[in-house]
């Protein structure tokens, strides 16, 4: 066994590495295809993939990324060594989208800039940071549908997990899909979200 963890990343302008054909999981793949179709049609969608280590959650995220033609894909992964760093996961998610930050209302823009270390200031209110994240994702999704994939959500820092749960509960018709994979057993930071 290698002592290193390999991660794959897909994003705008990045070539996706070819993956072997997916075998089985027909029901799950159909559900993910329907999710993408709904979001292409202008709805939002949230889904939490739960299961034991090695069960294929990451493979399903890879499948979803490959099926997301015409989407902007944002992919992050929780990192166990960064769990104590507030907003480390949020930085992974938002950093590639910061070209849209000026479109946010002033208080949200300022809160997100301080949170991500782009500006000095007092620690912003968590509600304002959550609202700013929702607004930023919505701005990005105005150009084309947005697919946010979060792998190893059990290792997200608590602040990021709370922001993503806030965003997930408020998505309505923003052409955004938020899909999170979390290992069981794990602390249930995503309680109440569709599984």
Domain with 120 in it: what CATH number?
3.40.50
Closest CA relative to residue 151, chosen from 28, 81, 23, 60: 60
d(CA 145, CA 150): 16
Structural domain harbouring 65: 26-183
Give 18-48 pLDDT, tens digit per residue.
Answer: 444 556 778 888 999 999 999 999 999 999 9
Residue at 7 is within a domain: no
Residue at 88 is within a domain: yes
The answer, yes or no, to whether residue 94 has pLDDT greater than 70, is: yes
Angle, helices 126-141 vs 106-115, to 10°: value is 100
Closest CA relative to residue 140, chosen from 112, 114, 118: 112
pLDDT at 155: 92
What is the domain count for the chain?
1
Instruction: Name the pTM for this structure.
Output: 0.84
- Contact predicate 178/150, CB 8 Å: yes
């Amino acid at each position: 066994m290698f002592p290193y963890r390999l991660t794959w990343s897909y994003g705008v302008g990045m070539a996706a590495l070819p993956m072997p054909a997916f075998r089985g999981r027909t029901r799950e793949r159909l559900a993910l295809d329907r999710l993408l179709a709904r979001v292409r049609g202008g709805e939002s969608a949230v889904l939490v993939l739960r299961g034991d280590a090695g069960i294929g959650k990451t493979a399903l995220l890879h499948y979803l990324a490959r099926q997301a033609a015409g989407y902007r894909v944002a992919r992050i992964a929780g990192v166990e060594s960064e769990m104590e760093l507030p907003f480390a996961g949020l930085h992974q998610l938002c950093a590639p989208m910061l070209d849209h930050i000026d479109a946010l209302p002033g208080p949200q823009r300022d809160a997100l800039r301080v949170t991500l270390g782009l500006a000095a200031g007092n620690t912003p209110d968590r509600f304002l940071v959550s609202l700013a994240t929702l607004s930023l994702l919505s701005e990005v999704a105005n150009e084309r549908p947005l697919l946010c994939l979060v792998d190893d959500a059990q290792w997200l820092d608590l602040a990021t997990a709370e922001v993503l749960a806030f965003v997930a509960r408020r998505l309505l018709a923003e052409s955004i899909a938020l899909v999170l994979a979390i290992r069981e057993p794990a602390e249930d930071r995503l309680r109440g979200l569709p599984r």
